[in-house]
């Protein structure tokens, strides 16, 4: 049987419904062909994100009731701190309301205007937070990681050559830290091997530059290491995670992913002086250092979520469900990024809609058509999300890949629902050149994909009549 076994049963259900194609068309028009602006009640299967969309366990809900809501030094913080420390191992653990708050605090303190922050690939909020303080975010993922059709085990690895080229070009004094995103979300949810972590860590230590993990999906990354890196086949996921973190000097974390909660995050640092500066800013922006923008009950739920997320039964089901969605798409002839990632399947929109140039947002066209055809919400990770400028010339530059991400919330959807998603994607792929490109009607100054309004080119129709 190719169905991954669910290591749980369902105790609470939430009603969802399908709305008609006519209603979906009206929603799409009102939303300016931007699925971020469609009401969630009008969506059948929501694969916009795996972030904050997990189903919590009975144990997590029980922990919520034990939350200590004291402003200072709550018991829930102690439990949270112990749980984080047992896996991550860093000296200072600073709670924040989500991942980007951790990024914002870190960069506000560590990055000066003109500084350069290398990463395998920066996630959109990470890039935006670096740029917000005047820094330059550069991506150094290995070449394999930029070839969607190539099958390789660790396409999230950082290229040491590209990292070194950045040090040569900008100079060590302009690089306050190096980041490594595990798994590499913007590059297809691909893992980073421990061997690569070790190399990057040694490179950074030789130069006295801190290595900071973007650890949102650390358990999924550790699972891939166990499955694919032979030296780690007999090690537990928790152990592998500890080994990875020991190579770094800190991490930013969105607990909304591998913390299995609906809100929360944290920043970990070993450096005392940096942690103390960040904590001062935390008090100003997020809250007292033992709650950092969260309720005591949220800290309690994260503590429990981190205990559950390294369970091999859970991870085998989780990654298996995502891989199965990838196989279904493959069987139906939809080009996907290979191999499937930990949290999502990524459709290669350039290969699917080769007639639409990047300036007409092919991945956004696919995303809008998928909603129209099936009520499924995916997300564009392409030229709408990454409005690149060449750091030297300031000229517009398109991202290497044009992807549609089907992010699978944790413990939420059934295999039947994901089969329905695969069929919807196949219908869109088969529309082929009947699909028209999009143009932007309005956009904000930063992170435009969240709120931009678009319209179909060529007569205002997304799908040409047959």
Give the binding site for ligand F0G (CB under 6 A). 49, 51, 98-100, 123, 125-126, 181, 185, 214, 216, 254, 256, 265, 407
Tell the smallest beta-carbon distance from residue 181 to ligand F0G (Å): 5
Hey, is 413 helix, strand or coil? coil
The residue among 142 and 431 lying less far from ligand F0G, judged by its C-beta, is: 142
Tell the smallest beta-carbon distance from residue 56 to ligand F0G (Å): 16
The residue among 27 and 256 lying less far from ligand F0G, judged by its C-beta, is: 256
Distance of alpha carbon 260 from the chain centroid? 14
CA distances, 386 to each of 122, 347, 416, 434 (Å): 10, 17, 33, 26
The residue among 248 and 265 lying less far from ligand F0G, judged by its C-beta, is: 265
The residue among 51 and 74 lying less far from ligand F0G, judged by its C-beta, is: 51
Let me know: does 406 contact 48? Beta carbons within 8 Å: no
How buried is residue 172: exposed, middle or buried, by Cβ count under 10 Å (0-12/13-18/19+)? exposed
Tell the smallest beta-carbon distance from residue 417 to ligand F0G (Å): 19
Q: Which residue has the tokens 């992010």?
A: 407
Tell the smallest beta-carbon distance from residue 97 to ligand F0G (Å): 8
How buried is residue 397: exposed, middle or buried, by Cβ count under 10 Å (0-12/13-18/19+)? middle
Sorted by sequence, the CB contacts under 8 Å of residue 408 that are 6+ apart come out as: 47, 50, 321, 322, 325, 343, 344, 345, 418
The residue among 225 and 378 lying less far from ligand F0G, judged by its C-beta, is: 378
Distance of alpha carbon 9 from the chain centroid? 27
User: Nearest residue to ligand F0G, using CB?
Assistant: 99
The residue among 116 and 216 lying less far from ligand F0G, judged by its C-beta, is: 216
The C-alpha atoms of residue 110 and residue 276 are separated, in whole angstroms, by 12
Tell the smallest beta-carbon distance from residue 434 to ligand F0G (Å): 29
Altogether, the residues listed in the chain come to a count of 466
Tell the smallest beta-carbon distance from residue 226 to ligand F0G (Å): 21
The residue among 116 and 130 lying less far from ligand F0G, judged by its C-beta, is: 130
The residue among 27 and 257 lying less far from ligand F0G, judged by its C-beta, is: 257
26-32 long-range Cβ contacts below 8 angstroms, 24+ apart: 27/371, 28/368, 28/371, 28/372, 28/462, 31/453, 32/441, 32/442, 32/452, 32/453, 32/454, 32/455
Hey, is 267 helix, strand or coil? strand
The residue among 34 and 185 lying less far from ligand F0G, judged by its C-beta, is: 185
The residue among 260 and 356 lying less far from ligand F0G, judged by its C-beta, is: 260
Tell the smallest beta-carbon distance from residue 268 to ligand F0G (Å): 14
Residue 212, beta-bridge partner list = 179, 250
Tell the smallest beta-carbon distance from residue 343 to ligand F0G (Å): 8
How buried is residue 323: exposed, middle or buried, by Cβ count under 10 Å (0-12/13-18/19+)? middle
Tell the smallest beta-carbon distance from residue 105 to ligand F0G (Å): 12
The C-alpha atoms of residue 23 and residue 285 are separated, in whole angstroms, by 41
Max Cα distance, the chain (Å): 65
The C-alpha atoms of residue 295 and residue 374 are separated, in whole angstroms, by 38
Q: Which of 378, 367, 364, 372 is nearest to 407 (CA)?
A: 378
Tell the smallest beta-carbon distance from residue 330 to ligand F0G (Å): 23
């Amino acid at each position: 049987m190719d169905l991954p076994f669910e290591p749980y049963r369902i105790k609470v259900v939430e009603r969802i419904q399908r709305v008609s194609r006519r209603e979906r068309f009206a929603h799409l028009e009102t939303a300016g062909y931007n699925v971020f602006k469609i009401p969630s009640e009008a969506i059948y299967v929501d694969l916009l994100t795996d972030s904050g969309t997990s189903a919590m366990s009975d144990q997590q809900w029980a922990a919520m009731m034990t939350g200590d809501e004291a402003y200072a030094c709550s018991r829930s913080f102690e439990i949270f701190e112990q749980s984080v420390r047992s896996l991550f191992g860093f000296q200072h653990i600073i709670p924040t309301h989500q991942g980007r708050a951790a990024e914002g605090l870190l960069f506000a303190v560590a990055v000066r205007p003109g500084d350069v922050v290398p990463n395998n690939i920066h996630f959109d909020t990470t890039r935006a937070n670096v740029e917000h303080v005047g820094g330059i975010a550069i991506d150094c993922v290995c070449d394999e990681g930029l070839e969607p059709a190539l099958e390789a085990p660790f396409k999230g690895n950082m290229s040491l050559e590209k990292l070194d080229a950045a040090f040569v070009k900008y100079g060590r004094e302009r690089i306050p830290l190096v980041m490594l995103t595990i798994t590499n979300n913007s590059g297809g949810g691909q893992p980073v091997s421990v061997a690569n972590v070790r190399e990057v860590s040694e490179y950074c230590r030789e130069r006295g530059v801190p290595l900071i993990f973007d650890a949102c999906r650390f358990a999924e990354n550790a699972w891939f290491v166990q499955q694919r890196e032979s030296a780690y086949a007999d090690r537990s996921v928790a152990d592998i995670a500890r080994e990875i973190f020991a190579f770094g000097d800190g991490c930013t974390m969105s607990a909304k992913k591998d913390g299995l909660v609906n809100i929360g995050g944290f920043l970990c640092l070993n450096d005392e002086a940096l942690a103390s500066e960040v904590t001062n800013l935390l008090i100003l922006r997020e809250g007292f250092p033992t709650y950092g923008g969260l309720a005591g009950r949220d800290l309690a739920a994260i503590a429990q979520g981190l205990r559950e997320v390294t369970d091999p039964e859970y991870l085998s089901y989780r990654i298996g469900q995502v891989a199965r969605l990838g196989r279904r798409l493959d069987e139906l002839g939809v080009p996907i990024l290979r191999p499937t990632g930990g949290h999502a399947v990524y459709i290669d929109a350039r290969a699917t809609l080769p007639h639409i140039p990047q300036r007409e947002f092919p991945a956004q066209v696919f995303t809008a058509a998928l909603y129209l055809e099936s009520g499924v919400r995916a997300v564009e990770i392409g030229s709408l999300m990454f409005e690149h400028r060449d750091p030297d010339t300031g000229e517009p530059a398109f991202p290497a890949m044009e992807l549609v991400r089907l992010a699978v919330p944790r413990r939420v959807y059934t295999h039947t629902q994901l089969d329905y998603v695969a069929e919807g994607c196949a219908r869109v792929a088969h529309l082929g050149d009947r699909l028209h490109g999009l143009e932007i009607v309005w956009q904000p100054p930063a992170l435009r994909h969240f709120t931009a309004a678009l319209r179909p080119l060529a007569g205002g129709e997304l799908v040409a009549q047959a």
